[in-house]
Amino acid sequence: MLRANISYNNLDIMIPMVSRVEEIEEIKNILSKVKLELETELNHEIPMPRFGVMIEVPSISYILEDIIPYVDFFSVGSNDLIQYLLAVDRSNHKVSKFYDPFHPAVVRCLYYFASTINKKNKDIVVCGEMAGNPLCSMLLLSLGYKKLSMNYKEIARVKYTLRRVSVEKLELLGKEALHLKYAKDIRSLYENYANEQGLLKDIE
């Protein structure tokens, strides 16, 4: 990857399922060694790619401040993060009903990641089913996320929704959502607003 990047200098490398600082240090050390090997072989300096981390394991929320200095960008893997945060196997029909992106713990956790990383001027994006769900995309916008990554089939619906809402209004809803203790009440906040904008029928 580093060799291919010499001509383009547009490579980003992101590692998944990070749960401790040592994992990041080990990968970055490997990258540094490979970079040095290539520079020695080619006899000129080569660019170091931007380095990113997937936020999927809940333990990262307790060491985020330790991790930020090592990382250029973050991607929240919403599917796994919610699954592990709520101890719910979303593929198991017996318990999948408890998989809820509007759960207060999920909302507060997502807000913590966005607010903390934004303050450090690092990039953060959300991928997974939440990003491609119009109602959830409103929630994410309200919590401080500006970048969403989704299946191409969902892009049109999400763009249609977000072009018809107010970021300022969503930010107010986000502040309100952080103080609610029931998932159904948090969901209702965004459904009611979508309904006011004539969007609810389009995004259900």
Instruction: Give residue-wise pLDDT tens across range 121-140.
Output: 999 999 999 999 999 999 99
* Distance in angstroms (rounded) separating the CA atoms of residues 132 and 149: 8
What's the pLDDT at 169? 97
- What's 191's DSSP letter? H
Please give the pLDDT value at position 29.
Answer: 97
Check: CB of residue 52 under 8 Å from CB of residue 72. Answer: yes
Determine the pLDDT at residue 13.
97
Cβ(44)–Cβ(6) under 8 Å? no
Q: What is the pLDDT of residue 93?
A: 86
Q: Enter the pTM of the model.
A: 0.93
Q: What is the pLDDT of residues 18-57, one digit of tens each?
A: 999 999 999 999 999 999 999 999 999 999 999 999 999 9
Please tell me the predicted confidence (pLDDT) of residue 181: 97
Residues of the chain with confidence (pLDDT) below 70: 204
Residue with tokens 């547009």: 10
CA distances from 157 to 41, 134, 161 (A): 49, 7, 6
Q: What is the pLDDT of residue 202?
A: 73
Per-residue model confidence (pLDDT) at position 204: 64
